Structures are given as structure tokens and as C-alpha cells.
């Protein structure tokens, strides 16, 4: 089931034209990969530090993606405002 989800996600990312939805799918795939790696490695290594480090990597990845989305939205908004003000002239 998980392999089918990854195949469908990769196909969606290849054919998608919506950047926001693609970034959300990539974040969800990254979270699932980190979660399953943490679960599998915690069965061998009995340490909470490993799970905390994987979670911190995921949080940093989310902050980077969120800042990219904010920059993307602010650029499109300012681009839209400048183009509409040029059309008013």
C-alpha cells in the first residue's frame, strides 16, 4: 500500500502544474519517510535521541518549505499588483 502511494505521488508530481500542491505532497512524503525510518531504527537502537533528531530534521524541512511558499505567494501578489497598476495607466 505504501509503495503504491509513493508511485502515485511520483506520477502526480511529474504531471502536476500546481506548485503548492506539489510541495505539500513532497512534505507529506518526507514526513512518512522520516517517520518510518525512525520507527524501524528505534526497534534496533533504543534511543529517543534518534526520534528527536528525525523530528527536528522534519521541522527544519517544513520551515524551509513554508518560507518558500510565503516568498512564492508574496512574489505573485506583488507581481499581480504591479501588473494591474500598469494596466490602469
Q: pLDDT tens digits, residue range 4-52?
A: 777 777 777 777 777 667 777 777 777 777 777 777 776 666 667 777 7
Q: pLDDT tens digits, residue range 57-77?
A: 777 777 777 776 676 666 555
CB–CB of 65/19 below 8 Å? no
Cα separation, 61 vs 14, in Å, equals 21
Q: How many domains does the chain have?
A: 1
- Residues in Cβ contact with 11 at an 8 Å cutoff, skipping those fewer than 6 apart: none
CB–CB of 21/37 below 8 Å? no
18 φ/ψ angles, rounded to the nearest 5 degrees: -90, 110
Alpha-carbon torsion (74, 28, 61, 17), positive or negative: negative
Range of the domain at 49: 2-88
Cα separation, 84 vs 27, in Å, equals 33
Amino acid at each position: 500500500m505504501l509503495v503504491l502511494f509513493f508511485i502515485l505521488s511520483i506520477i502526480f508530481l511529474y504531471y502536476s502544474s500546481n506548485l503548492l500542491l506539489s510541495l505539500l505532497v513532497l512534505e507529506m512524503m518526507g514526513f512518512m519517510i522520516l517517520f518510518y525510518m525512525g520507527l524501524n531504527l528505534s526497534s534496533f537502537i533504543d534511543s529517543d535521541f534518534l526520534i528527536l533528531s528525525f523530528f527536528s530534521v522534519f521541522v527544519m524541512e517544513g520551515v524551509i518549505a513554508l518560507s518558500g511558499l510565503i516568498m512564492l505567494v508574496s512574489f505573485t501578489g506583488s507581481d499581480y499588483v504591479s501588473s494591474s497598476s500598469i494596466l490602469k495607466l
